[in-house]
């Protein structure tokens, strides 16, 4: 398994379509935005097969991780944790001291197991309850 940064969004968009639009019922209008062009996209591959993705943003000392998804066949393998760890490492390398993300409420224990803590109230995102979470980053996190 390897995780790479990519500018070819074909596989990234296919994974997001399968997970967010087809599985979770997020509308196309809510999934596709103009932020992809500004993001660093991570793609997890097993050989040539794309299995997971996440997008990263750097805003000065703060990083943001979003659009994290793992193909149904790869869930429970540790791939999601590997994506988040890689995202944190890359954001720390960019000088970020803190990372935030909007976690689906049902996924909060997953993020807590990676050192994130809740920092905001429940809000609706595409019909799915979310909460903001944050984590302090150290160099090499």
pTM of the model: 0.92
- Helix-strand-coil split of the chain, %, nearest 5: 35, 40, 30
Question: Count of domains in the chain?
Answer: 1
In a domain, 103, yes or no: yes
- Parallel/antiparallel/unpaired status of strands 98-104 and 62-70: parallel
- pLDDT tens track for 41-95: 999 999 999 999 999 999 989 999 999 999 999 999 999 999 999 999 999 999 9
CATH of the domain at 93: 3.40.630.30
CA–chain centroid gap for 133, Å, is 12
Residue 62 placed within a domain: yes
What's the domain range around 60? 2-136
Is residue 141 situated within a structural domain?
A: no
Could you give the CA distance from residue 10 to residue 108 in angstroms, rounded to a whole number? 28
Is residue 25 domain-resident?
yes
Cα–Cα separations (whole angstroms), residue 136 to 95, 115, 121: 12, 9, 19
Which pLDDT value is given to residue 35?
93
Residue in 98, 34, 11 with CA at minimum distance from that of residue 3: 11
pLDDT band at residue 141 using 50, 70 and 90 as cut-offs: very low
Q: Which residues pair with 2 in a beta bridge?
A: 45
């Amino acid at each position: 398994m390897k995780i790479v940064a990519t500018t070819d969004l074909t596989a990234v968009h296919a994974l997001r379509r399968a997970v967010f639009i087809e599985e979770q019922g997020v509308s196309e209008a809510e999934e596709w935005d103009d932020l992809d062009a500004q993001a660093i996209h991570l793609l997890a591959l097993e050989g040539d097969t794309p299995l997971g993705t996440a997008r990263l943003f750097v805003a000065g000392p703060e990083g943001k991780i979003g659009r994290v998804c793992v193909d149904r066949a790869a869930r429970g393998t540790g791939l999601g944790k590997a994506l988040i760890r890689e995202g944190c490492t890359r954001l720390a390398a960019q000088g970020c001291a803190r990372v935030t993300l909007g976690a689906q409420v049902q996924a909060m224990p997953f993020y807590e197991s990676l050192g994130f803590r809740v920092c905001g109230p429940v809000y609706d995102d595409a019909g799915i309850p979310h909460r903001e979470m944050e984590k302090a980053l150290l160099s090499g996190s």
